[in-house]
């Protein structure tokens, strides 16, 4: 208890604190882009951010904690579940979210970190993936309720959609277009696509 109080007392609040957080997270993203998770050190982040190591350790005691903070704004985008009235369009919107996230420095850091075999990242990457797939499951659960897919297809389609969009950025020189997101959604949900044309 005393330990956690001491750590909290050392964390400043206010404008200076916000600047420090921004500088540290920006430096973390840059370091991840440069050397990957394996090359990430709190010392390098502190130096790049222009702060003391103790300033970083007070808020983010581990590299995984730094990565979690960098990923939070990206993962927050997956907390919104589209509901346009069309399963196909909802899935296309989610595919566009994956595409847009993958283009951000944080998204590139996430992709890089997901390749790491570091034990300290296992829980973080598992939680991040669960959060990213949650809106896909929600949209596809509605597709099950509309009898557009079978219940046992839900998880498979979620995986194909999410990782299809993620891998696209790894294997193509240009990101998915909105039209390609629409096409992918229609291929994965043909019954929903047919319902939309009637």
Tell me which fold the domain 72-197 belongs to: Tetracycline Repressor; domain 2 (1.10.357)
Where are the domains positioned within the chain?
A: 2-61, 72-197
pLDDT of residue 4: 39
What's the pLDDT tens digit per position in 2-34?
443 334 334 445 556 889 999 999 999 998 888
Is the CB of residue 46 less than 8 Å from the CB of residue 55?
yes
Nearest to 65 by CA among 102, 104, 11, 14: 11
pLDDT of residue 2: 41
Distance separating alpha carbons of residues 74 and 95, to the nearest angstrom:
14
pLDDT of residue 39: 86
Q: Which residues contact 132 (CB under 8 A, 6 or more apart)?
A: 75, 78, 98, 162
Residues 85/89/93/95 CA torsion (nearest 10 deg): 140
pLDDT of residue 10: 43
Global confidence as pTM:
0.82
Select from 3.30.950.10, 3.30.750.24, 3.40.50.1000, 1.10.10.60 the CATH code of 2-61: 1.10.10.60
Work out the percent of the chain whose per-residue pLDDT is above 90: 64
Residue 96: exposure state from Cβ atoms within 10 A (0-12, 13-18, ≥19): buried
Which parts of the chain sit beneath pLDDT 70?
1-16, 195-198
């Amino acid at each position: 208890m005393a330990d956690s109080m001491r750590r909290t007392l050392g964390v400043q609040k206010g404008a200076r604190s916000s600047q420090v957080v921004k500088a540290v997270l920006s430096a973390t993203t840059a370091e991840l882009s440069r050397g990957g998770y394996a090359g990430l050190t709190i010392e390098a982040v502190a130096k790049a951010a222009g702060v003391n190591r103790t300033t970083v350790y007070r808020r983010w005691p581990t590299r995984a904690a730094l990565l979690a903070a960098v990923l939070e704004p990206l993962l927050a985008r997956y907390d919104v579940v589209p509901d346009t009235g069309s399963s196909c369009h909802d899935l296309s919107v989610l595919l566009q979210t994956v595409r847009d996230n993958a283009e951000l420095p944080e998204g590139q850091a996430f992709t890089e970190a997901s390749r790491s075999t570091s034990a300290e990242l296992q829980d973080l990457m598992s939680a991040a993936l669960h959060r990213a797939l949650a809106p896909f499951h929600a949209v596809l659960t509605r597709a099950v309720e509309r009898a557009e897919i079978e219940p046992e297809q839900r998880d498979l389609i979620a995986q194909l959609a999410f990782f299809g969009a993620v891998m696209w950025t790894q294997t193509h020189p240009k990101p998915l277009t909105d039209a390609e997101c629409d096409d992918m959604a229609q291929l994965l949900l043909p019954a929903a696509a047919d319902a939309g044309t009637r």
